[in-house]
A and B are shown apart, each in its own frame.
Chain A
Amino acid sequence: DTEVTQTPKHLVMGMTNKKSLKCEQHMGHRAMYWYKQKAKKPPELMFVYSYEKLSINESVPSRFSPECPNSSLLNLHLHALQPEDSALYLCASSAQVEVRGVQFFGPGTRLTVL
């Protein structure tokens, strides 16, 4: 398996809802990432996990809570989001064996916050 998969593809939620995004890879990669992408903008890094530990948090609001249960899975828990959080949420992974390895992106979850 040489792909990063993400579920769900689309998600609509209210500001009081709690939901989770899921990302999975079976390439043996030990670095996983969450990005947020607004329309016509580049991906914006949110979190980096290295060997299942959070290594980078780009000052993301606490209403976004990442979790890495094992080396293949990455979750993003969402709670009390704002309409401006509507965006495409991309997961990516890269091998840990080399510095600055290639990042492979998942197809993303299109999130709409009402």
Chain B
Amino acid sequence: GENVEQHPSTLSVQEGDSAVIKCTYSDSASNYFPWYKQELGKRPQLIIDIRSNVGEKKDQRIAVTLNKTAKHFSLHITETQPEDSAVYFCAASSGAGSYQLTFGKGTKLSVIP
């Protein structure tokens, strides 16, 4: 089955700096890669996603890049703000005809004012 590795597990940045979280996946058939943000005690919320026919996608301060050859994808957050502090999970779909998502272990991002 699919295996998703996520790094780093914790990340602290100064407000206004950029943050980068990286994930690698094992199943070359995976073609959908969402990123979820989960604040303490809240539900995971989709912040951006990318499909394998696209190399990069941007939404305001958030961008995701995908390298299919290397089987890795990254989340980039620019001009970080304290409200960006949360746990971020990457995920990958895991099989033809399946709606299964395999999640990475998460990155706890702390933005220091």
Which residues of A are interface residues toward B (Cβ below 8 A)? 31, 33, 40-43, 45, 48, 50, 56, 90, 94, 99-108
Asked if B89 CB lies within 8 Å of chain A CBs, one says yes
A107: B residues at CB distance < 8 A: 42-43
Map CB proximity to A onto B38-64 as digits: 1 under 8 Å, 0 otherwise: 000011111001010000000000000
Q: Which A residue's beta carbon lies closest to that of B93?
A: A100
Complex partner residue of B46 from A33, A43, A45, A102, CB under 8 angstroms: A102
Asked if B100 CB lies within 8 Å of chain A CBs, one says yes
Closest 6 CB pairs of A and B: A42-B103, A100-B32, A100-B93, A105-B43, A107-B43, A105-B44
- Interface size, B (range): 20 to 34
**A99-B97, A103-B101 given as contacts; is B34 within 8 A of A108 (CB)?**
no
Q: Which A residue's beta carbon lies closest to that of B49?
A: A102
Pairwise interchain contact B100-A45, C-beta atoms closer than 8 A = yes
Alpha-carbon distance between A6 and B82 when the two chains are bound, in angstroms: 29
Pairwise interchain contact B101-A45, C-beta atoms closer than 8 A = yes
Alpha-carbon distance between A48 and B89 when the two chains are bound, in angstroms: 20
Pairwise interchain contact A48-B100, C-beta atoms closer than 8 A = yes
Complex partner residue of B105 from A41, A94, A103, CB under 8 angstroms: A41
Q: Which B residue's beta carbon lies closest to that of A3?
A: B43
Would you give the shortest CB distance from A32 to chain B, in whole angstroms?
A: 10
Q: Is the interface of A mostly helix, strand, loop or mixed?
A: loop
Asked if B69 CB lies within 8 Å of chain A CBs, one says no
Alpha-carbon distance between A32 and B66 when the two chains are bound, in angstroms: 27
Alpha-carbon distance between A90 and B43 when the two chains are bound, in angstroms: 8
Q: Which B residue's beta carbon lies closest to that of A48?
A: B99
B18: A residues at CB distance < 8 A: none
Pairwise interchain contact A42-B105, C-beta atoms closer than 8 A = yes
Q: Which A residue's beta carbon lies closest to that of B91?
A: A42
Alpha-carbon distance between A77 and B60 when the two chains are bound, in angstroms: 42
Most buried by A among B31, B43, B98, B101: B43
Q: Which A residue's beta carbon lies closest to that of B33?
A: A100
Pairwise interchain contact A101-B106, C-beta atoms closer than 8 A = no
B46: A residues at CB distance < 8 A: 102-104
Complex partner residue of B106 from A41, A94, A99, CB under 8 angstroms: A41
